[in-house]
């Protein structure tokens, strides 16, 4: 049921950009950021494939994808900036199921932001689901608009280029990229989990009281 729903969203997204062109791509990417079930790994590779048909240009696909992502990120940033964590979490508990978002997803985004600070806005743009939600912790932390916009543009442009170019290379097999993205996401979370363990180990080691030397004991 869930897979069919996501599949229908993918069809809607690809139909939209196929019929409306670049404006449709911008609109879909705005929705993809605010409504994560619309997968960018289905939208942008399809647009990249259309560049091989002469219908799109790779530069404008990347530009449109990045622009839509930035606009969507600004909406979520504003929610965090002008709201507070309790309200956001209450909203997700009540309505998150409609967007396939849970409190755990927000917690992951907050941890990502906590580990990497402002630079998380860049690194998280390369990870599905978190790439959208990281804007909320940034807003909650009252991150300055300048750095937020800079890292967002940088990250979303890179993500858009990777997916669009891969779709162009795969051609008619562009849909295969969803399998690779799934594996990439698992590896990313494994790396983040390992990094968290290393950080915790270092904090524990630094907090351990040092043993008094023999000379000080005398």
> Which residue reads 């079930």 in tokens?
37
What is the distance between the terminal CA atoms of the chain, rounded to a whole angstrom? Answer: 73
Residue 16 or 129, more confident: 16
Burial class (CB in 10 A: 0-12, 13-18, 19+), 52: middle
Integer CA distances (angstroms), 95 to 4, 92, 98, 123, 163, in order: 20, 5, 6, 27, 29
Asked if 120 and 135 touch (Cβ cutoff 8 Å), the reply is no
Is 146 a residue whose pLDDT tops 80? yes
Reported as a single tens digit per residue, the pLDDT across 178-189 is 665 555 555 555
Asked if 2 and 30 touch (Cβ cutoff 8 Å), the reply is no
Asked if 163 and 44 touch (Cβ cutoff 8 Å), the reply is yes
Q: Residue 188's closest CA among 134, 123, 138?
A: 123
Position 1 scores a pLDDT of 47
Burial class (CB in 10 A: 0-12, 13-18, 19+), 72: buried
Is 218 a residue whose pLDDT tops 50? no
pTM for the complete prediction?
0.71
Cα angle for residues 67, 16, 135 (degrees, 5° grid): 35
Mean pLDDT value of segment 106-127:
76
Distance CA 62, CA 118 (A): 24
Position 216 scores a pLDDT of 46
Position 108 scores a pLDDT of 73
Position 192 scores a pLDDT of 52
Asked if 154 and 122 touch (Cβ cutoff 8 Å), the reply is yes
Is 217 a residue whose pLDDT tops 50? no
Position 123 scores a pLDDT of 79
Q: Report the share of the chain in percent with pLDDT over 70.
A: 69
């Amino acid at each position: 049921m869930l897979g069919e729903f996501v599949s229908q969203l993918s069809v809607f997204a690809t139909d939209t950009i196929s019929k409306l062109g670049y404006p449709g791509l911008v609109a879909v990417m705005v929705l993809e950021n605010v409504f994560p079930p619309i997968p960018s790994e289905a939208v942008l590779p399809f647009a990249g494939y259309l560049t091989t048909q002469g219908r799109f240009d790779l530069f404008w696909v990347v530009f449109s994808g990045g622009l839509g992502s930035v606009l969507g990120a600004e909406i979520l940033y504003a929610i965090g900036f002008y709201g507070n964590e309790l309200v956001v979490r209450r909203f997700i508990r009540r309505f998150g199921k409609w967007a396939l978002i849970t409190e755990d997803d927000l917690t992951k985004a907050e941890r990502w932001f906590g580990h990497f600070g402002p630079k998380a806005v860049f690194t998280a743009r390369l990870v599905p689901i978190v790439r959208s939600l990281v804007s909320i912790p940034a807003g909650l932390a009252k991150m300055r608009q300048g750095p937020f916009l800079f890292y967002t543009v940088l990250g979303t442009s890179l993500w858009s280029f990777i997916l669009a170019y891969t779709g162009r290379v795969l051609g008619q097999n562009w849909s295969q990229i969803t399998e690779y993205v799934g594996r990439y996401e698992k590896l990313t979370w494994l790396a983040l989990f390992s990094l968290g363990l290393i950080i915790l180990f270092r904090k524990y080691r630094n907090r351990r009281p040092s043993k008094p030397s023999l000379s000080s004991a005398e």
